Structure 1
Amino acid sequence: MSPLIRDARPEEYDSITRLLRDTYGGEGLVGAAYLPRLDDTAARARDAGTEVLVAVDRTDPGDPTDPRDPAARGDPTDPGEPTDPGDPAAGRRPSGTGRLLGTATLALPGAEWNGALSDGEATLRMLSVDPTARRRRVGTALIAECVARARLAGATALGLHTTDAMTAAHRLYTTSGFVRTPEHDTPAHSGGTLRAYRRPLEPWPRIRVAQSGEHTSAGDLTVAAYVGAGLLPADHSYVHQLGDAKRRAAEAELLVAVDRAGALLGTVTYCPPGSTYREIGRDDEGEFRMLAVSPQTHGRGIGEALVRTCLSRARSDGKRGIALSSSTAMHAAHRLYERLGFARDPRRDWTPAPGVSLLAFAREI
């Protein structure tokens, strides 16, 4: 199973530092003078615009022993998944999380930890994968997440520097779309050269809160997406709710994707705490509804950009997860959710009306 990529949590900072120390120092990838910088995990995580990411083994959101579900906890003193003292990763398994498989730091433009040489460029730093997980494409998944987040933030490129000793990483960067830029190489403090790599980024459409004059268009687009795809008949009672974007804007957060000319490409409703539009989200989760993309713009990643914006909103609300409901017929949406790290949570499937079955999806963030 592919790893889950999410933000690091404070209880994981020590484990991240140990992983970085073990891989960078233990494998001789950097000079000794650089090792103390690896200890600044908490400082990186606190820096505005810097995101410390982790790859972890997935936990089942429907597992009744899932420590994230307070109602499903047994003994509150239970430290979580037991670890084998002989397991080399045992010290990297904080209570209540999946096993730590890898980490990376993304520094967006303007962040303290951004070492970019040009405006608008994000920086990838401190990529590390546990040796026991190196055949699971963990590094590839971490890089892909950094690329996606940098694009969503409007970065024009993603750059990095790496030592001569990191030959395996050089191959990974090349296969991940990075290009060597020797003109940006810099001397390493411990001697030798830091090799520069750079990947240009195609920006996603702008995602923002809908303006009052866009409510009708957003409602019409939502109806067209659902009815046009055959998900609902035009005379279904739910169509009126889909079209009532003005109410969603008042009682939730109506987001839209627009192109450079301001044309509407897609929409989604993020349901913050206290919103009447929340359905299945727990107290520690965000939730979103009514994801819709204009039929004329399918295949451009607009749905992904909208979902990722909801993930970002939930993180800004201090949530540790996000949930949603989806009809059984929305197969394309299900594939998108699963690709973005969501898993089915059958315990929260429900029937809001006779003949209507909704499937629950959730993920940690």
Structure 2
Amino acid sequence: MEATVSFEFDTAEHLKVGDSELTEILREVYVDGGFTDSELAEEIFKANAVRDRGAIFCVRNRESSELAGIVILVAPSSKASRLAKDGEVEMQLLGVRPKFRGQGLGKLLVAQAIAKARADCCSKMVLWTQRSMVAAHHLYESNGFLQVGSFENNGREFLVYSINL
């Protein structure tokens, strides 16, 4: 019989997520995954810059205590907000470590982010994702997000998704 792996979902603060853990997971998902340039990551994935974006929610493996996934809810008042308007929230930096994929953690993070945004009385959630992140597009669409536009930044095309809450 195969052992069941269990996970704990909560805020980064409650799960006592360290600065190095934040940087490591984002580098593994985005840089090693080929989605973010290593030099750019040095700046945008610094722990203080990540924490300044907004409310960080994480999934931690209960057995190994390893950080398995992350998502950030960014208020329109945050300097990191690109798309959210008053009454809305922006979802950023959703990521699940490759070795934990296929266990529904991305879906859990998205569902929890939506639940938190609804609890905070937000009217809409918006996000932007690279065109090459096809698995992410499927995840967002399966959770009710619709593609509503696109933009280009630093030579990469980003798709914009939103969901009314």
Q: Quickly name the TM-score band, shorter chain normalised.
A: 0.7 to 0.9
CA distance in 2, matches of 1:217, 1:275: 22
CA distance in 2, matches of 1:210, 1:341: 26
CA distance in 1, matches of 2:42, 2:116: 27
Any idea what SS the aligned residue of 1:345 has? strand
Contact 1:216 1:243 in 2 (8 A): no
**Counterpart residue type for residue 226 of structure 1:** Y
**Counterpart residue type for residue 33 of structure 2:** A
CA distance in 2, matches of 1:352, 1:220: 24
Aligned equivalent of 1:209: 11
Gaps of 5+ in 2: none
CA distance in 2, matches of 1:204, 1:281: 33
**Counterpart residue type for residue 208 of structure 1:** D
Aligned equivalent of 1:221: 25
Gaps of 5+ in 1: 1-201
**Counterpart residue type for residue 244 of structure 1:** K
The structure with the largest strand share of the pair is 2
Aligned equivalent of 1:340: 143
Deviation at 1:251, TM superposition (A): 3.9
Q: Deviations over 1:221-248 (max 9, x none)?
A: 1111112222234x342x1245223322
CA distance in 1, matches of 2:101, 2:50: 24
Aligned equivalent of 1:266: 69
Any idea what SS the aligned residue of 2:18 has? helix
Deviation at 1:352, TM superposition (A): 3.1
Any idea what SS the aligned residue of 2:83 has? coil
Q: Name the % identity.
A: 23
CA distance in 2, matches of 1:242, 1:302: 24
Scaled by the length of structure 2, what TM-score is found?
A: 0.85
Contact 1:343 1:363 in 2 (8 A): yes
Number of residues of Structure 1 aligned to a counterpart in Structure 2: 159
Change in CA separation of 1:331 and 1:340 when aligned onto 2, cut-off 3 Å: same
Q: Give yes or no for the alignment of 1:331 onto 2:134.
A: yes
Q: Give yes or no for the alignment of 1:278 onto 2:81.
A: yes
CA distance in 2, matches of 1:284, 1:207: 25
Change in CA separation of 1:289 and 1:251 when aligned onto 2, cut-off 3 Å: closer
Deviation at 1:213, TM superposition (A): 4.9
Q: Give yes or no for the alignment of 1:300 onto 2:126.
A: no
Deviation at 1:308, TM superposition (A): 1.1
1:257 pairs, out of 59, 67, 76, with 59
Aligned equivalent of 1:352: 153
Contact 2:76 2:84 in 1 (8 A): no
CA distance in 1, matches of 2:140, 2:153: 21
Contact 2:69 2:105 in 1 (8 A): yes
RMSD, aligned α-carbons: 2.1
Deviation at 1:219, TM superposition (A): 1.6
Aligned equivalent of 1:364: 164
Any idea what SS the aligned residue of 1:247 has? helix
Deviation at 1:204, TM superposition (A): 6.9
Contact 1:242 1:290 in 2 (8 A): no
**Counterpart residue type for residue 18 of structure 2:** E
